[in-house]
Chains A and B, each alone.
Chain A
């Protein structure tokens, strides 16, 4: 329609919006639960909130031993990787929709993110 800037797009959330919502929602919910488990364990007297982040082995050991440190560290890590999960989810959605331009765009974003982290540059 002339002058109709929105074209034929619906105002309702699209599939990509639902995928974004789902990936972020699940990821944040997992992080929230992990952090809350840590708090419950702290309140139960099993240890305070740490000032440092342990390595992967120490973290997994703490989780198995129900030490709060492991849950705090794992919860924070899940929070931080949430946007990575969202970008991967978006790429898959564009692939399903055969929107090749945005598959390429999303993969490009993911590549730059990985390069940045690999170089250790902030």
Chain B
């Protein structure tokens, strides 16, 4: 019962943070399970993947309901993300993971710095972009209109994000949010909501494989699912009301924490 309640409370926090920032929570769940609870790594990853699925699904109920998610953009980027994840799983058989961990750590640090800068507003002369969309920012009540730019870069970047997810088990959302916000002209809140939509798809395939191979332990997964459902519902509602600058800062912290984790794995 103690373990159940402990995991339940941790999962509420994981779902809360993950839904606010467009990431799945693997960064917190995997080390907690492996280091603190001495759970075998495959079981920890299986639980983490279920956590990502729930974070995505529970938060989308709010984001989609508010019209903040860009479902067509998410679906388009999911094509290359899922292909990248499939390729990443094969690549994991031949590539040196320590080199990958260190490379990923460097990329994350670069992203953390980049997210500290507001993207330059696109001029009217640049055109409206593709997939025109609008949403009402719950924090300000203002209508935000945008178009998606650099779709080619977005598809390529999503291929990389999926590949990294397949190789290292984390990092899909933490790449996709800055990719959409900085390179594709998507406002941060829409990027977070759309990333949340996408990570569920990538994680679901992995979760199903782990589940059928016996690497999802109900004793760990049940309190995680219940906690994340609650936390993600709260986080996604609150994220709408949080100023963009605060979300940007939280994202930077998350990227640095994950970079340190990845660097540690690469060096030890």
Contact = CB atoms under 8 A, between A and B. Distances in A.
Interface in A61-85: 69, 72-73, 75-77, 79-84
Interface string B126-139: 00110011111000
A16 to B, nearest CB: 5
Contacts of A25: 61
A11 B136 contact: yes
B84 to A, nearest CB: 10
A120 B213 contact: yes
Nearest to A99: B72
B200 A83 contact: yes
A106 B78 CA distance: 9
Interface residues of B, number: 66
B222 A24 contact: no
B225 interface: yes
By DSSP majority rule, is chain B's interface helix, strand, loop, or mixed?
helix
Contacts of A5: 122, 128-129, 132, 145-147
Contact of B79 (A18, A86, A105, A120): A105
A75 to B, nearest CB: 7
A64 B53 CA distance: 27
Given A6-B132, A24-B64, A102-B72, A109 B82 contact: yes
Given A11-B135, A83-B56, A112-B83, A122 B218 contact: no
A6 B145 contact: yes
Interface in B164-203: 166, 197, 200-201, 203
Nearest to A121: B89
A8 B201 CA distance: 30
B225 A76 contact: yes
B211 A50 contact: no
A9 B12 CA distance: 35
A109 B69 contact: no
Interface of B: 4, 45, 50, 53-54, 56-58, 60-61, 64-67, 69, 71-72, 75-76, 78-79, 82-83, 85-86, 89-90, 122, 124, 128-129, 132-136, 143-147, 166, 197, 200-201, 203-214, 216-219, 221-222, 225-226, 229
15 contacts: A5-B128, A6-B145, A17-B69, A21-B65, A39-B222, A49-B218, A76-B222, A80-B211, A83-B53, A83-B200, A83-B204, A87-B201, A102-B76, A108-B79, A122-B206
